[in-house]
Chain A
Amino acid sequence: MWTLIAWLVGLGTFFLMALLVVHVLFALVLIVPTWRICERAGYSGLLSLFHLLPVLGSFIVMAVLAFGDWPKGEGKASSPHQPVRP
């Protein structure tokens, strides 16, 4: 009985760890380009680490990029506060 429980706990832990590793790997695939996009927009690259947050993280990053004023300027005058480029 205890052996069966130990097996179940072990399998559960294994699958959780595997899920975590896969999630981190997939997040890395998103973090690298998003880091660069954030820097080109003028934000800190650390913003892209929100991708580590499951489900909501990507939406947070996209929302900041979509609705925030890019410190390094924007291609379209969608914001009334266009920063002066150096």
Chain B
Amino acid sequence: MMGFDLAALLGALGLGSAFAMVGVVLAGWMCWRIAEKAGLPGWTGLGAILLTLTGIGSVVSLVLLWVFAFMRWPRDGAPAAVGFGPVPGGGASVVSPPPVLPPPPQALADRRGWTLTGNGVTLTFDDSRAAYLLTGEGGGTPGELVVADPSVGRPHARLLTAAGRLGLEDLGAAGGTFIDGARLLPSHGPRDITTVRALKFGNVVLALSRS
């Protein structure tokens, strides 16, 4: 019964139509694979072929073929800069992206502490706390770094630690805060001072080093 129906269908459509149907299925399958190899979703290739079955006919598929040929394929990655001469072993119209080295292994964070020295003061701290308060007069509270000097505000600045990095934020004391001679204002917010050598709080100059 099924074979009879199939034969009747083929007879109705005609042998040519049957071949055309097989051809469309084959072409759709192959275009699916081609699109995937170019890095595009496979259905875009199949869809381009199925469009030939619509009333618009093959014109849309032809246009899509031209678009596919000249568009940037996801396989090619980022667009490469031109002007570096011919591509070895490649076609004249294709510029392969330059080889990309894998990123270097991430360096281990320097977990050493920090030391501020100068003016008879030595302050040592590490990143066990996220923030330290630098002040001219302290009450012995943990997280306070006391620099006993009248020019240092109470508090004067905030030191921030995070993953081996050190930050400094001025809290608006009258004496001012300086990073390697440059004035830091409260409006600047926290600044990275990991590589800074000298800090000045009021009249007190402190050398920054790793401990």
A residues in contact (CB < 8 Å) with B: 29-30, 32-34, 36-37, 39-42, 45, 58-59, 62-63, 65-67, 70, 72-76, 78, 85-86
Q: Can you name the residue of chain A whose Cβ is closest to the Cβ of B74?
A: A75
Is the C-beta of B62 less than 8 angstroms from some C-beta in chain A?
yes
Closest residue of A by beta carbon distance from B38:
A75
Closest to A55 in B: B23
| Interface set of B (CB-CB < 8 Å, partner A) | 23, 26-27, 29-34, 36-40, 62, 65-66, 68-70, 73-76, 87-94, 96, 99
Question: Are A36 and B69 in contact, CB atoms less than 8 angstroms apart?
Answer: yes
Q: Give CA–CA (A58, B142) in the complex, Å.
A: 79
Inter-chain contact A74/B88, CB cutoff 8 Å: no
Cβ of B94 and Cβ of A70 under 8 Å apart? Answer: no
| A76 near B39: Cβ-Cβ < 8 Å | yes
CA distance A65 to B34 in the complex (A): 6
Query: Which chain A residue shows the least CB distance to B33?
Result: A66
With both chains docked as a complex, state the minimum distance between the C-beta of B195 and any C-beta of chain A, in angstroms: 38
Query: Considering the complex of A and B, which 10 residue pairs feature the smallest CB-CB distances, nearest first?
Result: A75-B39, A39-B91, A75-B75, A33-B69, A66-B30, A66-B33, A62-B30, A74-B37, A36-B69, A76-B36
- Given the known inter-chain contacts A30-B65, A75-B75, please indicate yes or no for A62 contacting B36, CB distance below 8 A: no
Report A42 CB to chain B, min CB distance, Å. 8
Interchain CB contact under 8 A, A66 and B69? no
- In the complex, which residues of chain A have a beta carbon less than 8 angstroms from the beta carbon of B62? 29-30
A85 to B62, CA, bound (A): 30
Best-buried of B36, B69, B74, B76 by chain A (most CB within 10 Å) = B69
Return chain A residues, CB-CB under 8 Å to B96: 72, 85-86
Bound together, the chains give a CA A74 to CA B99 distance in angstroms of 16
Q: Report chain A residues within 8 Å CB of B66.
A: 32-33
A59, B26: Cα distance in complex, Å: 8
**5 contacts across the A-B interface (CB closer than 8 A):** A36-B70, A40-B76, A40-B94, A65-B37, A76-B36
Whole-angstrom distance between the Cβ of B42 and the nearest chain A Cβ: 9
Q: Which residue of B lies closest to A62 (CB)?
A: B30
Q: Which of A45, A66, A75, A85 contacts B91 (CB 8 A)?
A: A45
- Tell which of B69, B70, B88 touches A86, judged by Cβ atoms closer than 8 Å: B88
Are A75 and B40 in contact, CB atoms less than 8 angstroms apart?
Answer: yes
Beyond A37-B68, A75-B36, 8 extra complex contacts between A and B, CB < 8 Å: A29-B62, A42-B90, A59-B30, A65-B34, A65-B37, A67-B30, A73-B75, A75-B40
